[in-house]
Structure formats: structure tokens, C-alpha cells
Structure 1
Amino acid sequence: MMMSSPPPGVQKDADGLILPRKLINPCLESNERQQLHRELKFNTKMGKSVLNQKSELQRAYEKQRERQQRQQQQEDLSPTAGLKAELNRVIMERAQKHERQEGDEDEEDKQYVNPEYLNARAKLRQQRASELK
């Protein structure tokens, strides 16, 4: 075997072993990369989202909204959706009718004066008038 000369830039020690060389750190060599890193650190410290990432709360809100939309679509497609809508309509009509009846009863109660109340009040007036004399 014939030993060829080592490629240029390779260093060997006295025993003929190749010496390891220090690896190049791209972060330290590139000024642009250092500036970008500084800017990212500053923005995260200030609370800005440079990479257009959404906060955890925004992601959870969107997930919830999508889930509700899917559920609404499934309800609309189900065969009982028409029955539910009809039932809700009937319930609402009955509730409105009940509220109207209660309103009418309140008006009647305001207009109606109990005669016993009037008699008792008249007696009290007479007693007071006799006491004052």
C-alpha cells in the first residue's frame, strides 16, 4: 500500500494521527444570523409574535368554534332537526302566550279593588276621626 499525502488543511500529530479541528459555529460567524437572533429574543421578551403564531388561547377558541360549527352541521343534517325546530317553535309560542296572560292578569288585579279592603279602610277612618274629636 502506498501512502498518499493527506489532503490540504489536514494536520497530523507525531504518530501520524489526524488532529481534530474545531467546528465552525454558523451562529457566531454570520452577523445577519446574530442580528436575527437578537431581534427574535427582543420580540419574544416584548410579547410580540414575529412568526405570526397564534397564542394558545386563540388556538383553543378557534378549535371550540370549529367544533360548534361541526356540531351545528350535524344537527342540521339529522332527521330529527325538523322536529326539534318545530318543538322549539311551539314552546316559544306557548311561553309568549303565557307571558301575555300573566300581563293581562296583572292589569286586572290593578283595576280590581277588594270591597272588604274599602270597608276596613272606612272603619279605620271613622275610628281615627272619633279619636281626634
Structure 2
Amino acid sequence: MHLYQNVPVVHKTGLRNQRNRAQCWISPPRQVIENQQQQEEHLIKPQKLINPILASSQRRTLHQELIFCHKQGMLPRKKPELQRVLENKSREQLRRRELALQPRSDLEVKLRRRRQKIQLHELEERKWREGLTNVPEFVRVRQSLKHVPHSS
């Protein structure tokens, strides 16, 4: 960094010179610029390394062929995976809505009623078993014994 580079000149004259402040910059002396150029001549300037993959002729020909095929429209247009999944989901939802709007056949109605009865029966059985677990043990044992008529 040089001492004289981009240093504004400060005027103490007041408001009338504020417009000219942006234009008043001191330029570095000519001798400083010449010294800097002489120092840069002796330095080795870095160069960008060549990527062997990008420089290979096979890769370049393949890339050119792909570009040509794409321009001609010969390549299949593949969608991203996320877009395909979202389209499949929306198609599935549309199919379900259409099925829900169609009237059900007699067989479907009967199967649905039977399934509801079975579920209701299973629910009642679960409640009955839960009721048995809350009953003391001696009551459960007594209920499991066969009732023998008393002979007197």
C-alpha cells in the first residue's frame, strides 16, 4: 500500500469547497510508480493450472456431442427426481378423488359394512378384556370355575 494513494485533500475553507472535495485527490509521485513497476518485473506471476480432465480430448468430443444432440432434440428430457415424485403424488391424489366420486358397487358396500361390524366387535372385546384386568384376581378365578349345583 502506498502512502499517497487515494488520499483526499482536506480544505479548511468551509462549505463552498465541499462540492470539489470528491475531485481533489493527490496522485502518487511518478518515482513511486516506477519503483513499483520495477519490483513487479522481477516477480514470477502465477498461472492457472490446467485441469487434466477438462483438457482431455475424449471429454471435449463427448461434451461437443452432447451439446449437438441437445440442440437437435435427440436427448430424452429427464425431469429432476423431486419433480417426478411430486407429479406422481398429485396423479395419485387425482385418481383417489375420482374413485371417491364414483358410485360404489353392491359388493363394496357389503364388504364395508362387514368390515365395520368386525371392527366394532373387536373394539367391544378389547373393552371387555380391559374391564377384566381391573377386576380383582379372586373374582376372575370364581368366574372361571364351573357352577356346580348344590345338592342338599
User: Which TM bucket (shorter chain)?
Assistant: 0.3 to 0.5
Query: Which is helix-richer, 1 or 2?
Result: 1
More RCO (CA 8 Å, sep 6+): 2
